Amino acid sequence: MSHTASSMIMRSLQLTGEKAINGSLTSAEKTVYLEALNSMLDSWSIERLLIYTILQESFALTNNTISYTIGTGGDFNTTRPVKIIDPCFVRDSSNLDSAIEILDVESYGRIVFKTSGKTYPSYLYYDAGFSATSTATLKVYPAPSSGLTLFINSYKSLQSFSNISTAALLPPGYQRAIESNLCIELAAGYRPVSAEVVKIARESKAAIKGINLPDSFMRLDAGIVGVRPKNSVLTGP
């Protein structure tokens, strides 16, 4: 999608009837409407089915260190994850991988002595809370030995636009959904939106969710089928 923030905002305003074709934005409008666009996309970033990719990243663990900041400028310098998901694993210097389980705050809190041991971490806890620098915190247990690399999979925020001329770098389908839904956002409290635009906004957003819906894989417990399944590198014993 090669459109810019400006072109999508203009299209949204044309849908409301506020702007004519070949119209332009004032300096004040550029500021206000760009903030509205970024605000909407920030909200979309916590809707799982609007996130189009799962990003895998790797980070070197520090010997005997259990806590790391993650985000721009953090110990793990990357875009702050919205959510870390399975599978995550630890890789050693021999390129052997060990699975690592993601814990919630309650399960992590039950670990009595969190600095015990110094080996391959088996558990990971992601505290998504913001710090003063907008970084989150990632903790592993037990404390890692040297030479280990942590691999995580995560959802990241959708693109934000630093200025009105920034190009949109999003997959097919997002342009129409952004323009029609931004139209509704900008019109709220000022003017009614046509039923046709509301329909386009709803259906275009639903289409994105449909393509982003994870595939389902069904398994039956061995106790139900009465036959023990063969071991698999993908599904385990």
List Cα–Cα distances, 143 to 26, 103, 116, 140, in angstroms: 55, 15, 7, 7
d(CA 76, CA 20): 47
In the DSSP assignment, the letter for residue 129 is -
Ramachandran sector of residue 121 (left: φ over 0; alpha: ψ -120 to 50; beta: rest): beta
Tens place of pLDDT per residue across the chain (237 aa)? 468 999 999 999 999 999 999 889 999 999 999 999 999 999 999 999 999 999 999 999 999 999 999 999 999 999 999 999 999 999 999 999 999 999 999 999 888 888 777 789 999 999 988 766 789 999 999 999 989 999 999 999 999 999 999 999 999 999 999 999 999 999 988 889 999 999 999 999 999 999 999 876 656 565 565 555 555 544 455
Amino acid identity, position 119: T
Note whether 186 and 36 are within 8 A (CB): yes
d(CA 17, CA 140): 54
pTM summary value: 0.81
